[in-house]
């Protein structure tokens, strides 16, 4: 029995009916370098060729910039599979990517680490 709005791809009892590796045609490596915090956004260009329903869903979600990790959560797919799908969309010009600036320049920035620690303390 399919969940409302999910079409034939999800089943209440069985979960995802299509295995993640089939979504990426068995590919495990994206053609574009993406990390979990890379921002992806639709360019407005129409992709040429066939794209699966997951590609279309990802493109729809990327109308506003989203990090790869959040997009994977929305798609309910492993991050590795999501990166392959996103790289397909980048390759055909339908998506653009932007690396997270602060993490690439200094991943051990003391101010950033202190802000994270303060946030964690507030949660406790």
- Between 43 and 1, name the one with better pLDDT: 43
pTM (predicted TM-score): 0.63
Give the integer Cα–Cα distance in Å for 25 and 84.
Answer: 9
Give the integer Cα–Cα distance in Å for 116 and 24.
Answer: 34
Q: The dihedral of CA 91, 96, 100, 101: what is its sign?
A: positive
pLDDT in tens, 107-119: 677 877 888 788 8
pLDDT at 83 over 70: yes
pLDDT at 13 over 60: no
């Amino acid at each position: 029995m399919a969940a409302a709005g999910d079409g034939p791809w999800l089943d209440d009892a069985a979960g995802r009916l299509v295995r993640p590796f089939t979504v990426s045609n068995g590919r495990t490596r994206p053609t574009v370098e993406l990390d979990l915090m890379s921002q992806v956004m639709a360019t407005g260009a129409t992709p040429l060729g066939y794209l699966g329903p997951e590609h279309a869903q990802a493109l729809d979600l990327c109308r506003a910039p989203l990090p790869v990790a959040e997009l994977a959560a929305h798609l309910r797919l492993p991050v590795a599979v999501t990166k392959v799908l996103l790289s397909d969309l980048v390759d055909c010009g339908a998506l653009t990517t932007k690396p997270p600036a602060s993490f690439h320049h200094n991943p051990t920035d003391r101010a950033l680490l202190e802000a994270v620690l303060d946030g964690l303390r507030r949660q406790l």
